[in-house]
Amino acid sequence: MDIRRRPTKPSNNNTLLAPPSSSGAVVSSSSSPKASDALPLPLYLTNGIFFTLFFSVAYFLLHRWRDKIRNSTPLHVLTLSELAAIICLIASFIYLLGFFGIDFVQSFISKSEVEDDHPPRFIHCPPPVLPKPVVNMNLPHDDEEIVNCVVSGEIPSYSLESRLGDCFKAAKIRREALQRITGRSVEGLPLEGFDYDSILGQCCEMPVGFVQIPVGIAGPLLLNGCEYSVPMATTEGCLVASTNRGCKAIYASGGATCVLLRDAMTRAPVVRFSSAKRATDLKFFLEDPLNFDTLSVVFNKSSRFARLQGIKCNIAGKNLYIRFSCGTGDAMGMNMVSKGVQNVLDFLQNDFPDMDVIGISGNFCSDKKPAAVNWIEGRGKSVVCEAIITGDVVTKVLKTTVAALVELNMLKNLAGSAVAGALGGFNAHAANIVSAIFIATGQDPAQNIESSHCITMMEAVNDGKDIHVSVTMPSIEVGTVGGGTQLSSQSACLNLLGVKGAHKESPGSNSRLLATIVAGSVLAGELSLMSAISAGQLVKSHMKYNRSSRDITKIGS
């Protein structure tokens, strides 16, 4: 090895100086001992020999053991050649195993020895200046000062959670700043007692408190042989009591039956082409059954629960509206289907580069709006629920008659709604029950619009003694995971119904069951309200439950 003497010179550069040896020599990095120095042959020849030996004896042994198995010879009976082959196999394996680690181990040991004997000398440099974290950056420590900063606009209200790192404190400061900016008090709006961390980035932005809505229980609702206590969050008097009376009538008549007709969430983007001809080309491509399997694979990559079920297209000039329908498991599924649609649009861009995506939603879905497409095609869960109420129950519990109910339903829910030009509103008050259950179980309240599409039918049966009642609801949009379902109060209501979270064995079962419970509750509510109107009890009951006799002036003072 070549060891050269060179005088060490002081350096003004920011470099690491190699320490001199005791004799004044510096050992170059190229002269450090290597693992191959101990071998009698060059390293590449040694490696080649052991590699060849390892694979040769492995092949020999496998070939010999195969012959022994064919000839029924015991494997433990070894010949001299087989014993030698096993020894060579072990030796070559040990060498190859050591070869991959010896250089690393030896270099690590050598480095440690050099650092211990001769610690390196560094030119001292100032430490780098690291950026400060976002939390508490230029933020006063006193709450009063933070409030003043929010009021003056120095600190944006929406950034309080990220800067403070405390969601409750952020809501408290935002609340105080709001009162000072508006000059109006929010006293009476609760602040404490709510988990603000649970809504961050999920349910509500810039909170200043929470609204209390009482939750009542209607039931038991006997549906498909099972009993359910239905939570309803509402501020309307009579609603829970009326639904509860309907549940009583259904229970006394043997229960209701509910059938799921369809389960498919939809999303419909709008794309534009330079001509109507090109738009029709894509329409035919998407609706061709031969292309469906390919599109399904692309769509289903968005989630392990997303399953594309169908594609329906409508054209308006050179604009194409594509309505995707898919299963979404126990989630309501809007985000899931949107991701799948985006995957398909990206895929189609390769074959249709002139396609201009105007929007991921073109209102052909249709979400949070009354639309005939949801009334006809369905969206979310499509269900039908029925029950036969005996004449005795109609008389004793509902305080009316079968004939009066049938006539009122025809003139009010069917003919009256037609005169009004109703769209999916052929019912008495389905939205009342749907909204109350939605709020209690953490659903999107705005989706009450299409979820309340309902037609209520009543018909006299068994020679006019009993009445057959049914509700058909084509677009109940519910989920048991995601969104508001994860909040503690709403999660407790879902747990009461036995549909909390995702179903482990059968994904989608919990959300489908929740949809049937909604429909069964609507059936109970329709039955009771129609009976109250028929018997002339509506005004009397609302005056009793919707009008308080308490002296509000004394409470206010």
- Say which of 34, 68, 166, 236 is annotated catalytic: 236
Q: What 3-state class would DSSP assign to 461?
A: strand
Please choose, from the candidates 98, 112, 115, 91, the residue with its C-alpha nearest in 3D space to the C-alpha of residue 35. Answer: 98
The whole-angstrom separation of Cα 397 and Cα 163 is 59
Cβ neighbors of 103 (< 8 A, separation 6 or more) are 34, 35
- Say which of 301, 444, 459, 468 is annotated catalytic: 444
What average pLDDT does this structure show over 465-481?
Answer: 97
Residue 21 reports pLDDT greater than 70: no
Annotated catalytic residue 368: yes
What average pLDDT does this structure show over 293-309?
Answer: 93
Residue 34 reports pLDDT greater than 50: no
CB 327 within 8 A of CB 264: yes
Per-residue DSSP letter, 197: G
Annotated catalytic residue 236: yes
Q: Which of 383-392, 408-417, 539-548 has the lowest mean pLDDT?
A: 539-548
Write down how long the chain is.
Answer: 557
What is the tens place of the pLDDT at every residue in 258-272? Answer: 999 999 999 999 999
CB 89 within 8 A of CB 61: yes
Q: What is the pLDDT of residue 549?
A: 56
Burial class (CB in 10 A: 0-12, 13-18, 19+), 272: middle
Please choose, from the candidates 513, 465, 524, 499, the residue with its C-alpha nearest in 3D space to the C-alpha of residue 255. Answer: 524
> Which has the higher per-residue pLDDT, 221 or 20?
221
- Say which of 368, 399, 412, 468 is annotated catalytic: 368
Q: What is the dihedral of CA 496, 502, 504, 505, to 10 degrees?
A: 90
Please choose, from the candidates 456, 455, 453, the residue with its C-alpha nearest in 3D space to the C-alpha of residue 405. Answer: 456
Q: What are phi and psi of 149, to 5 degrees?
A: -65, -35
Q: What is the pLDDT of residue 43?
A: 63
Show the tokens assigned to 362: 């073109």
**pLDDT, averaged across the chain:** 85
How far is CA 61 from each of CA 57, 75, 94, 501, rounded to the nearest angstrom?
6, 11, 18, 56
Q: What is the pLDDT of residue 113?
A: 43
Q: What is the pLDDT of residue 49?
A: 82
Band of pLDDT at residue 68, cut at 50, 70 and 90: confident
How far is CA 481 from each of CA 157, 197, 442, 515, 537, rounded to the nearest angstrom?
30, 18, 9, 14, 40
> Which has the higher per-residue pLDDT, 94 or 468?
468
Band of pLDDT at residue 431, cut at 50, 70 and 90: very high
Q: What are phi and psi of 492, to 5 degrees?
A: -65, -40
Q: What is the dihedral of CA 194, 199, 200, 206, to 10 degrees?
A: -70
What average pLDDT does this structure show over 326-332?
Answer: 95
Cα angle: 33, vertex 37, 43; to 5 degrees: 125
The whole-angstrom separation of Cα 13 and Cα 324 is 66
Name the strand (E) or helix (H) holding 540: helix 538-545
Residue 432 reports pLDDT greater than 60: yes
The whole-angstrom separation of Cα 45 and Cα 306 is 57
The whole-angstrom separation of Cα 481 and Cα 510 is 9
| Residue 126: CB atoms within 10 Å | 5
The whole-angstrom separation of Cα 285 and Cα 43 is 62
Band of pLDDT at residue 26, cut at 50, 70 and 90: very low
Annotated catalytic residue 124: no
The whole-angstrom separation of Cα 136 and Cα 456 is 58
Annotated catalytic residue 68: no
The whole-angstrom separation of Cα 260 and Cα 488 is 28
The whole-angstrom separation of Cα 492 and Cα 235 is 19
Sign of CA dihedral 171, 177, 178, 184: positive
CB 385 within 8 A of CB 256: yes
Please choose, from the candidates 165, 225, 167, the residue with its C-alpha nearest in 3D space to the C-alpha of residue 191. Answer: 167
CB 258 within 8 A of CB 520: yes
- Say which of 68, 312, 412, 542 is annotated catalytic: 542
| b/e burial code for range 34-50 (CB count within 10 A of at least 16 → b) | ebeeeeeeeeeeebeeb
Q: What is the pLDDT of residue 3?
A: 41
> Which has the higher per-residue pLDDT, 107 or 155?
155
Residue 200 reports pLDDT greater than 80: yes
